[in-house]
């Protein structure tokens, strides 16, 4: 079974590692415009004999990309979100299923609107994979079919194990995706309606996570994915918050308040010439340079569900904690491995069969299968409790 992984960053490397190490008959082809990235992704693989690389700028599409797509069982996008719509269209036209790591609510809506085209082509498209919303939203379905859900609360944080500085944070994925999550409006389901809340709002303190210490959580965009829209008509409340060390949120809000994240173009006079610049682009570059990860991170996540089992009120939690191990960070393990599991399902490598269409992960993936497969790859920090 051949998989095409578009983008050759470290998340892609983790994705490829799962497919190669958990299945003996898979091959993986990495595609990236940067030879350096291809070299790194290939170097992360223990099964190098089943790896190939193609240096190609996928933003321009073209026959070469189409040919690569038609030769694989599933396309996995590990590139920035703004490339996912054209890649999705290319995969549908090539007659191959597609999944990606999400990153933008508007982009995901465009992809889900292609459901009819997917059915006509006999393929499936699944955006928003990865740890959140992908894996986390799947975990929240653990009691689906047994309970009548009344509320779902999702929490997730990618954190340095040894926080330093006033932000107490280190970059574990794209800064552009991070800023989208922080600054965009957030969708939640409340009282049967989808409501909009401001990014970074509704902060709360949490001290009972499976990691020692006190943390803060606040609303961010994208982590709920399609959940509010699916559950609002059922009268189920649904929300997502990001977890950070206390104080982080106030620092980011202060930067936001004074304009560090403005997107309007400015002119800066330097000697006898004028230079155009955007504050958010400069801020993103500085954050990437100054908040580099030491590779020792952790993922802590929780899916909290309340509902009824017959006449009985019930409540349950699925907690996850994972740490950097060997070649991969916790963010890479939980994001790359869980995306690979969804890709394997799309390639019919499990007993479940996914009908052609466009979905988000929690609509098609079984939570127990996801946990079992992650456990096979060493992600074992799950705790399931009825309270």
Rg of the chain in Å (alpha carbons): 21
Residue 130: the pLDDT is 87
The predicted pLDDT at position 342 comes to 98
Is residue 357 a contact partner of residue 124, using CB atoms and an 8 Å limit? yes
Residue 266: helix, strand or coil by DSSP?
Answer: strand
- Which pLDDT value is given to residue 172? 83
Ranges assigned E (strand) in 10-119? 27-32, 51-55, 74-77, 97-100
237 pairs with which residues across the strands? Answer: 151
Q: Residue 244 corresponds to which tokens in the numbers above?
A: 């950070």
Cis check: omega of the bond before 368, within 30 degrees of 0: no
Q: Mean pLDDT for each consecutive 10-residue tract of the chain (387 residues)?
A: 95 96 96 94 93 91 91 95 93 97 88 97 96 95 96 97 95 86 95 97 96 96 92 97 97 96 88 87 94 94 97 97 94 96 97 94 96 97 95
Helix H or strand E encompassing 56:
none
Please tell me the number of Cα atoms within 13 Å of 156 on its side-chain side: 30
Q: Under a CB-based contact definition with an 8 Å cutoff, are residues 31 and 8 in contact?
A: yes
């Amino acid at each position: 079974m051949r998989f095409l992984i578009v983008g050759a960053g470290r998340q892609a490397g983790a994705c490829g590692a799962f497919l190669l190490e958990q299945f003996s008959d898979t091959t993986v082809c990495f595609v990236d415009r940067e030879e350096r990235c291809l070299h790194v992704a290939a170097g992360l693989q223990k099964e190098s004999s089943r790896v190939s690389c193609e240096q190609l700028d996928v933003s321009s599409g073209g026959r070469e990309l189409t040919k690569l797509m038609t030769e694989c069982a599933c396309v996995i996008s590990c590139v920035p979100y703004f490339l996912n719509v054209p890649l999705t269209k290319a995969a549908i036209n090539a007659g191959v299923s597609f999944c990606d790591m999400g990153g933008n609510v508007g982009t995901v809506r465009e992809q889900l609107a292609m459901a009819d085209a997917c059915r006509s082509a006999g393929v499936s498209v699944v955006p928003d994979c990865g740890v959140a919303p992908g894996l986390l939203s799947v975990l929240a379905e653990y009691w689906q079919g047994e309970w009548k859900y009344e509320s779902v609360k999702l929490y997730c944080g990618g954190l340095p194990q040894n926080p330093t500085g006033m932000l107490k944070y280190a970059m574990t994925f794209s800064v552009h995706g991070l800023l989208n999550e922080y600054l965009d409006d957030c969708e939640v389901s409340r009282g049967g309606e989808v409501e909009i809340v401001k990014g970074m709002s509704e902060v709360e303190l949490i001290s009972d996570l499976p990691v020692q210490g006190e943390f803060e959580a606040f609303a961010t965009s994208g982590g709920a994915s399609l959940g509010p829209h699916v559950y609002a008509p059922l009268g189920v409340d649904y929300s997502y918050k990001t977890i950070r060390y206390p104080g982080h949120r106030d620092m980011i809000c202060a930067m936001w308040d004074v304009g560090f994240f403005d997107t309007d173009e400015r002119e800066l006079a330097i000697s006898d010439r004028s230079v155009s610049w955007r504050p958010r682009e400069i801020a993103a570059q500085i954050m990437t340079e100054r908040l580099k990860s030491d590779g020792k991170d952790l993922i802590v996540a929780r899916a909290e569900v309340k509902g009824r089992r017959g006449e009985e009120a019930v409540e349950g939690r699925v907690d996850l904690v994972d740490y950097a191990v060997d070649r991969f960070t916790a963010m890479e393990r939980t994001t790359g491995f869980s995306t690979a599991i969804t890709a394997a399902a799309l390639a019919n490598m499990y007993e479940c069969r996914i009908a052609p269409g466009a979905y988000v992960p929690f609509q098609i993936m079984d939570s127990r299968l996801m946990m079992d497969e992650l456990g096979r790859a060493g992600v074992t920090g799950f705790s399931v409790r009825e309270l």
